[in-house]
Structure 1
Amino acid sequence: MGPLAILVCFSCPILVLGLLAFLNKTLRKPILRQREFNARGIRGPPYKFLFGNAREIQKMKTAAAAKPMSNLSHEIRTRLEPHLATWTEAYGKNFVFWMGPEPILVVTEPELVKVVGNNAEKVYQKLEAEGYIKKLFGDGLVTSRGEKWAKMRKLVNHAFQGDSLKSMVPAMVASTEVMLQRWEDHGGEEIEVFEEFSLFTAEVISRTAFGSSYFQGKLVFDGLAKLLQLATKHALNIQIPGLSKVYKPKDEIEAEKLEQQIRDVIIAMVTKREEMVTNGDLDSCGSDFLGLLVKARYEDDESKRISVDNVVDECKTFYLAGHETCDILLTWAMLLLSIHTDWQEEARKEVMTHFGNKTPDADGIMKLKTMTMIINETLRLYPPAFEMMRKVDKEVQLGKFRVPANTNIIISYLSLHHDPKIWGEDVHHFKPDRFSQGLAKATNNVQSVHIPFGVQGILQALCGW
């Protein structure tokens, strides 16, 4: 027997075993799991080999995006989440669909959302971050779990508690004045407010959380924005088992470069603060977010100490989550107030009543009831975070459903925010006064159906607090 024949004899069994393993993961297991879901009363679109329902989702999203927006309707769910809207009609508020060979249980029934959100039994865990998401957030608050998450949450809470937030107001006011002056300098010409708010929120975050100017943090913002674009571009991509070990696409190589560039910039900022520590001046390294992270690097109590990787990941998380969410909130609020000029006038009257021509301060801002209602309604109609994902590692009882182990769960905020059974038939109307008696009254005491408002609240929603 020649060398080639020997090679073929050895290779064939390996190839056959590899093919069988591949088919087991991408065909046999999903079919068996779908039967299991059906037997438990959890229906959904049928699994399709290898890709699951990913291609259907992409087709529905492409078709929805191609339709003209003929009016300023706030009914955006069928445009942004057409697959969830379609399958909710077909299968009910709770159903399962497939991303590749992985099942995803969609939960939009308020009582079940509350159970998952509260997570009293500690069974609904965050998904393990992979790929572009891992490069975006690292192992920060958005992605970390267990004791590490609890430790970092406590540290972040300390950075953004009441007194800390109050101390940030003067810097926020200063950044606002710079932006308004820039608008005046336009001389009445058209202004792209989304770009303006992007500059503004970047400046505020840089000054209040990191003690730097926007230009010092620009590399971080730009790098994260590009990484976010790549993550969005590949959100529906299905990873073929084993392919990443032999082939690395151009976008993945670009993402790795961006991740390293962002890390280098943040490390430089950290090093500058740490120089104060090495000079024996721990207290002078700052009381802002970055300062508290750096101090935690030198904690005497080892259980409270964090690594430099922790610092980098938390900085990335706050840069991205704080910037993107506030930018989106401000832009939609501006659009809604420009359409509904009656509410614009009400907000203006309230501000003038509390401040007149004085500079806004933290105590006065807390008294702005109309503005709070407007923010709540803006976040309801246009939430910066559409979904929350969780995973059950073991079989659990969720309401009347027995959810199989290793099932991913999606909570669709957009579905909850646009559900007429929760908010009434005027669900797609801009009506801030629905919050006039508070969040509990507006949601019929099911507050889990609405994302908390404000910077901290948005971060809480993103981080699953």
Structure 2
Amino acid sequence: MGISAALPFAVGEASPWSLLGGVAAALLLVWAVQMLEWAWLAPRRMDRALRAQGLKGTQYRFLHGDLKEDLQLVMAARSKPVPMDRPHDIVPRISPLLHRALEDHGKLSFTWFGPVPRVTITDPELVREVLSNKSGHFEKTRLATRLSKLLVGGLVILHGEKWVKHRRIMNPAFHAEKLKRMLPAFSASCTELIGRWENVVAASVGKAELDVWPEFQNFSGDVISRAAFGVRYQEGRRIFQLQAEQAERLLQSFRTNYIPGVSLLPIENNRRMKAIDREIRAILRGIIEKRQKDMKNGDANKDDLLGLLLESNMDYNDEDGKTSKGMTVEEIIEECKLFYFAGMETTAVLLSWTMVVLSMHPEWQDRAREEVLQVFGQNKPDFNGVNRLKVVTMVLYEVLRLYPPVVLMNRRTYKAIELGGVTYPPGVMLALPVLFIHRDTAVWGHDAGEFNPGRFAEGVAKACNDPGAFFPFSWGPRICIGQNFALLEAKVAISMILQRFAFELSPAYAHAPYTVLTLHPQHGVPVRLRRR
């Protein structure tokens, strides 16, 4: 027997381990080349392409871009409140990096979200073009879509035919006549809120103080539970608790999960986000399946959003009028997640900042109260009367202008596209800064940074020199489907509060807006209440 015959593999034959090693080395090399392209070569190309067309921006830093500096600026800004001599000058606190970039590099400039250039678009006409997406070249960012699905889902992240189908099914539930049926739910929740506040005033010695931020969160949670699902707030409390935690974790994940593969790693934050999503889905599935069973038995409430949605879903026809299969239970769960989060957040945020601003500007508080008492007296608000509230509507619009719930929207180019004379390559992020555009003096005049509801006296169309510059609920075909729901709820609530209370900010109040996906008061909203 020769030496070679004694060996497991003849000389010249490759062992399986060496083959595997070669394959692994090749795969590692491919991965390294892809990472080099993603983290260095592509950003450098896009940087040159943008600067060659006259855009200015920050210098790209490997992998992280401006994210580390953005975090440092945000943490420094959050360490101190907004000075009360200029209380509505909140942009440097909310978006310090974008604020500095616009000052240093101009209105059309860019920063870096990791290895992705983020161009800030402040021209209202260009913003409308992006949001209308008639060219079909703009989409929501993949990272936001992938992560946001863990919090909301549904219409917020859908595209194309699926979005059209869901929107067609859901539209009937938000028709004005259907919202009118929900007014008793709004009034019932507000009556309980007023009752709690009256007890606080009655029990206080001296001036009664109350933090209205958690009060409005509870109130809007109660409204969405009653009006959307026909249940009490206590039954939906667990969903709200889970979604509040999910929002915080989602914000954290945006700073790391832009790196490919990080969102798939079994790290604590990723595991917890997925566990929260599973629990929310399980609760909602139980509510939906129980309602479907009740509907089959003929004893279900069809006047809430879930009932209207299920009814519309069963009767769904496609655009040709042919009966088609509606949404699955899993798809309905996605829309219900959106109901719960957006329905609670938008109104709680709007009412909280309305209380703040009316406390800062008592003359407008008095004008709004005078109108409410003239229209309703001490009676509960009715649908027709709510539609006659001009001053209250002006106030709410101005609050939405200065304190929009969502301060920034992002879109992404997935093909080369010309916009405003600039050709953007695929993969560029477009930042649409609602907060900035709502305060642009070139659009809103010299008093753009001041609270002046009178600018809306003749409606949105004449409030500034470009009516498209006001878009607190987005714009175009994807405008928020629940905006009328939120405004009706806010008008009922603020009317009932003004009927019974006068209020002012507590000396303990610190004006500190900050973002947790929506615009929250960092230290709450302590106010002093006085029974009228």
> How far off is 1:12 after superposition?
3.9
From 275, 285, 306, the equivalent of 1:257 is: 275
3-state SS in 1 of match to 2:155: coil
Structure 2 length as normaliser, TM-score? Answer: 0.81
Specify the code of the residue in structure 2 equivalent to 1:224. Q
> How far off is 1:377 after superposition?
0.6
Which residue does the alignment assign to 2:314?
A: 298
Matches of 1:367 and 1:345 in 2, distance apart? 17
Query: Is 1:286 the equivalent of 2:305?
Result: no
Equivalent pair of 2:174/2:485 in contact (CA under 8 Å): no
Equivalent pair of 2:353/2:399 in contact (CA under 8 Å): yes
From 404, 415, 419, the equivalent of 1:398 is: 419
Residues 262-341 of structure 1: matches in 2 within 5 Å?
Answer: 262-279=280-297, 281=298, 284-299=300-315, 301=317, 303=324, 305-341=326-362
Query: 442-451 or 405-414: which moved more?
Result: 442-451
Deviation per CA, 1:253-297: give whole Å up to 9, x if none: 111111011011111111111112433x3x845132111232345
> How far off is 1:177 after superposition?
1.0
Q: Where is the helix percentage greater, Structure 1 or Structure 2? A: 1
From 114, 132, 141, the equivalent of 2:155 is: 141
> How far off is 1:8 after superposition?
5.5
Structure 1 pair 409/317, CA: closer, same or farther in 2 (3 Å)? same
> How far off is 1:241 after superposition?
2.8
Which residue does the alignment assign to 2:170?
A: 156
Query: Is 1:62 the equivalent of 2:75?
Result: yes
Matches of 1:423 and 1:297 in 2, distance apart? 42
Structure 1 pair 239/409, CA: closer, same or farther in 2 (3 Å)? closer
Equivalent pair of 2:220/2:348 in contact (CA under 8 Å): yes
Equivalent pair of 1:99/1:238 in contact (CA under 8 Å): no
Which residue does the alignment assign to 2:128?
A: 114
3-state SS in 1 of match to 2:431: strand
Query: 221-230 or 115-124: which moved more?
Result: 115-124
Specify the code of the residue in structure 2 equivalent to 1:443. C
Which residue does the alignment assign to 1:235?
A: 254
Query: Is 1:456 the equivalent of 2:482?
Result: yes
Specify the code of the residue in structure 2 equivalent to 1:206. S
Equivalent pair of 2:73/2:97 in contact (CA under 8 Å): yes
From 200, 225, 247, the equivalent of 2:244 is: 225
> How far off is 1:7 after superposition?
6.4
Structure 1 pair 148/12, CA: closer, same or farther in 2 (3 Å)? closer
Which residue does the alignment assign to 1:46?
A: 59
Matches of 2:358 and 2:95 in 1, distance apart? 25
Which residue does the alignment assign to 1:123?
A: 137
Structure 1 pair 131/391, CA: closer, same or farther in 2 (3 Å)? closer
Matches of 2:186 and 2:418 in 1, distance apart? 46
From 432, 436, 439, the equivalent of 2:460 is: 439
From 251, 263, 266, the equivalent of 1:248 is: 266
Specify the code of the residue in structure 1 equivalent to 2:116. E
Matches of 2:256 and 2:460 in 1, distance apart? 38
3-state SS in 1 of match to 2:119: strand
Query: Is 1:210 the equivalent of 2:224?
Result: no
Matches of 2:326 and 2:175 in 1, distance apart? 20
Query: 108-117 or 64-73: which moved more?
Result: 64-73
Equivalent pair of 2:443/2:466 in contact (CA under 8 Å): no
3-state SS in 2 of match to 1:135: coil
Matches of 1:388 and 1:376 in 2, distance apart? 19
Matches of 1:394 and 1:377 in 2, distance apart? 37
Matches of 2:155 and 2:376 in 1, distance apart? 36
3-state SS in 2 of match to 1:443: coil
Matches of 1:244 and 1:368 in 2, distance apart? 47
From 89, 95, 99, the equivalent of 1:75 is: 89
Residues 329-368 of structure 1: matches in 2 within 5 Å?
Answer: 329-368=350-389
Which residue does the alignment assign to 1:132?
A: 147
Which residue does the alignment assign to 2:5?
A: none
Specify the code of the residue in structure 2 equivalent to 1:25. W
Specify the code of the residue in structure 2 equivalent to 1:456. G
Structure 1 pair 344/222, CA: closer, same or farther in 2 (3 Å)? same
Structure 1 pair 22/207, CA: closer, same or farther in 2 (3 Å)? same
Equivalent pair of 2:405/2:472 in contact (CA under 8 Å): no
Which residue does the alignment assign to 2:117?
A: 103
From 171, 176, 192, the equivalent of 2:211 is: 192
Equivalent pair of 1:132/1:230 in contact (CA under 8 Å): no
Could you tell me which runs of 5 or more consecutive residues in structure 2 were left unpaired when the two chains were aligned.
Answer: 1-10, 318-322, 475-479, 488-516, 518-532
Which residue does the alignment assign to 2:29?
A: 16
Deviation per CA, 1:183-209: give whole Å up to 9, x if none: 111123421100111111111111111
Structure 1 pair 300/100, CA: closer, same or farther in 2 (3 Å)? closer
Deviation per CA, 1:403-438: give whole Å up to 9, x if none: 222322121000101212222222221111111121
Could you tell me which runs of 5 or more consecutive residues in structure 1 were left unpaired when the two chains were aligned.
Answer: none
Structure 1 pair 287/30, CA: closer, same or farther in 2 (3 Å)? same
Matches of 1:36 and 1:459 in 2, distance apart? 44
Matches of 1:433 and 1:244 in 2, distance apart? 47
Query: Is 1:379 the equivalent of 2:404?
Result: no
Specify the code of the residue in structure 2 equivalent to 1:444. N
The share of aligned pairs that are identical, in percent, is 34
From 83, 86, 91, the equivalent of 2:105 is: 91
Specify the code of the residue in structure 1 equivalent to 2:482. Q
Which residue does the alignment assign to 1:168?
A: 182
Structure 1 pair 442/118, CA: closer, same or farther in 2 (3 Å)? same
Query: Is 1:427 the equivalent of 2:445?
Result: no
Matches of 1:452 and 1:299 in 2, distance apart? 28
Which residue does the alignment assign to 2:522?
A: none
Deviation per CA, 1:69-101: give whole Å up to 9, x if none: 332511111111011111111222122222122
Matches of 1:344 and 1:417 in 2, distance apart? 22
Which residue does the alignment assign to 2:498?
A: none
Structure 1 length as normaliser, TM-score? Answer: 0.92
> How far off is 1:447 after superposition?
2.5
Equivalent pair of 1:435/1:441 in contact (CA under 8 Å): yes
